[in-house]
Structure 1
Amino acid sequence: MITRDLAAFFDIARGLHADFGPATARAAFLVAPDGFRLAEQSASDNRYMAQAAGFDAARASEQHRALHRALSQVVPTVCFAGDPQAPDGLFPNNVFATAAGRYVVGRMRHPVRQREAEREDIRAFFAGVLDYAEIDLSTQPHPCELTGALVIDRARGIGYCGLSERCDEAGAALMHEALGLRATLMFDLAPGEYHTNVVLAVLAGRAALVAPRGFARDEVARAIAEFHAPHAVILSDAEHRAFAGNAIALSDDAVWMSADAARALAPESRAVLAGAGFQVRSVELDAIEAAGGSLRCCVGEVF
């Protein structure tokens, strides 16, 4: 089922067991920030991006390597070379996503990002090395920027899809089908928000980070938080601005976010995460955040 109806969606979600599949990925993949600079097309609908002078390519590369080292302590983590002609390429989770036995290639809104979907080395890794079947959505007309637009509770097999210029209803339906989800809730993001994973994170099926300011309708944010209670963190505006919602769990005992996000996290928010069994782990990513994304945006998951 894919719907905008809150009651219908949560009626189904409440009846589901956490038996859809592993709650966290078995591996991760990154793309190095080679050619890191302002992508003007992306900046047209990403208010989080810095001006061109705010981009420090050397520092971004150093921080990205530190992220790779950190995540490799938790799961096997592969890093592909970057493409200097694809300055947003360090955010591969928008372009490639996986489910059991298959990988999905998304349709990016901006031409500067559409070239990322043409990466034959990444496609060959999934198809040739992992022997995953391909579902290629990149050539159809509807934007569907995968796990940027669609936040997935992998344990239950449900999705939360925020609609914006980066994903329309048809694109949401294509992702829902391609990833084989049991149910997906569609809703509008607030004006100025471009991706759901900046305002919502579901952590190993056990907890959620919710930034109400990022939703067009407060009742949607409230319903998601209520569903994941008592382990739902309602992020303040300060936590939201610091990318605390752009977090990920790659194991059942830790949530990863940028160091700035971790510093902004209120004691009450930390307490909720601790109650769910999560330690907060972080990496300095301020240079990367100049490009309008944070830690979760950098991480592609292999299921």
Structure 2
Amino acid sequence: MITRDGNAFVEFARSCVPDFGPATARAAFLVAPDGFRLAEQSAADNRYMADAAEFDATRASMQHRELHRALAQKLPVVCFAGDPATPDALFPNNVFATAPGRYVVGRMRHPVRQREATRADIRDFFGNVLGYAPVDLSQQPHPCELTGALVIDRARGLGFAGLSERCDEAGARLMHDALGLRATLMIDLAPGEYHTNVVLAVLAGRAALVCPDGFADRVVVDVIEALYAPHVAQLSAGEHAGFVANAIAVSPDTVWMSAQAGRSLSDATRATLAGAGFDVGTVELDAIEAGGGSLRCCVGEVF
């Protein structure tokens, strides 16, 4: 099923038992922020990006290395070299995604990011090292920025596709099919939002963080509550701005987010996460957040 009807989605999703696959990834991949700087094309529709003068490539590299160390406490993590010609490449989850036995290459909206999809080393890693079959969406015309635009409940095979200039309806359908999901809900993001994973996180299939103001229609909040209550935190404007929703569970027991996000957490949100069985791990990423994304955006998952 792929639909815009929230009620139909909930009715179907409630019948989906958590046997679709592992709720969290078996490994992760990163791309180093080599040549990290303002990408003007990306800034055109990413209001979270800082001005060029606020980019500090050296600090971003140091923080990215600390992120690698932190995540490696929980699972194997591979880091690919960056490329100064692709300054947004440290957010690889928009370009490459995986499902068991296959990898998907997304279609990026901006030419500066379309270059990332041509990387032979990352394609060869998935294809020749892991033996995954390719599903290449990068040459078709519809934007589909993978797990930036599509938040996935891997345990039940459910997708939440936020529509914007970075993902249209046709792109959402392509991702739904490529990842073999059972059901995907298409929802319009609020004006000014560029990716779903900045305003929604589904954590190991059993909890969710949602920014009500991040969506054009609050029906998505009702859907999330219907599927994940009581482990749902509706985030405040301060938590939204602090990238709290740009979090990820790379293991069943810990949610990772940036240090800024951790400082933004309300007592109620922290209690919700604890009630769902999660510790909160944080890494200082303020230099990386100048690029308009936070911790979740940096992490590609290997399923």
> How would you bin the TM-score normalised by the shorter chain?
over 0.9
Cα distance in 1, alignment partners of residues 132 and 16 from structure 2? 27
1-structure distance, mates of 2:20, 2:297: 24
Aligned residue number for residue 22 of structure 2: 22
1:122 equivalent in structure 2: 122
Q: Secondary structure at the match of 1:250?
A: strand
**Which whole-Å deviations, capped at 9, do the CAs of 1:122-172 have from their partners, x for residues lacking one?**
000000000000000000000000000000000000000000000000000
Offset at residue 173 of structure 1 (A): 0.1
2:212 corresponds to: 212
Helix, strand or coil at the partner of 1:103: strand
Answer yes or no: is 1:89 the counterpart of 2:98: no
Deviation for aligned residue 1:220? 1.7
Residues 259-278 of structure 1: pairs in structure 2 closer than 5 A: 259-278=259-278
8 Å contact from structure 1 (residues 127, 133) kept in 2 = yes
Deviations 1:28-68 (A, max 9, x none): 00000001000000000000000000100000000000000
Q: State whether structure 2 residue 28 is matched by structure 1 residue 9.
A: no
Counterpart for residue 181 of structure 1: 181
Two-structure CA RMSD over aligned residues (Å): 0.5
Matching residue's letter, 1:7: N
Match of 2:150 in 1: 150
**Alpha carbons 1:38, 1:51 under 8 Å: kept:** yes
Equivalent position SS for 1:272: helix
Moved over 3 A (4+): none
Distance in 1 of aligned mates of 2:58 and 2:68: 16
Counterpart in the other structure of 2:105:
105
**Residue-by-residue CA offset, 1:47-106 (whole Å, 9 max, x unaligned):** 000000010000000000000000011000000000110000000000000000000000
Task: Kindly provide the amino acid, as one letter, of the partner of residue 13 in structure 2.
Answer: A
Gaps of 5+ in 2: none
| TM-score, normalising length: structure 1 | 0.99
Q: What SS does structure 2 have at the residue aligned with 1:249?
A: strand
Distance 1:117 1:65 in 2: 23
**Mapped partners of 1:220, 1:27: distance in 2:** 30
Instruction: Give the letter aligned to residue 194 of structure 2.
Output: Y
Given the two structures, how large is their TM-score scaled by the length of structure 2? 0.99
Q: How many residues align?
A: 303
In the other structure, the counterpart of 1:229 is 229
Q: Verify: 1:139 aligned to 2:139, yes or no.
A: yes
Which residue does the alignment assign to 1:291? 291
Q: Which amino acid aligns with 1:252?
A: P
Deviation at 1:222, TM superposition (A): 2.6
- The 1-side partners of 2:16 and 2:220 are apart by 20
1:30-41 correspondence to structure 2 within 5 Å: 30-41=30-41
Aligned 8 A contact 1:212 1:222 in 2: no
* Contact kept in structure 1, 2:104 and 2:137, CA below 8 Å: yes
Structure 1: runs of 5+ lacking an equivalent: none
Structure 1 partner of 2:71: 71
Which residue of 1 is the match for residue 280 of structure 2? 280
Structure 2 counterpart of 1:159, one-letter code: G
Contact 1:210 1:225 in 2 (8 A): no
Query: In 1, distance between residues paired with 2:166 and 2:16?
Result: 29
Q: Distance in 2 between matches of 1:44 and 1:248?
A: 26
**What letter matches 1:121 in structure 2?**
D
Q: Secondary structure at the match of 1:202?
A: strand
Q: In the alignment, residue 43 of structure 1 is paired with which amino acid?
A: A
Aligned partner of 1:102: which letter? R
Instruction: Please name the residue that 1:168 is paired with.
Output: 168
Instruction: Please give the secondary structure, in 2, of the residue aligned with 1:152.
Output: strand
Partner of 1:257: 257
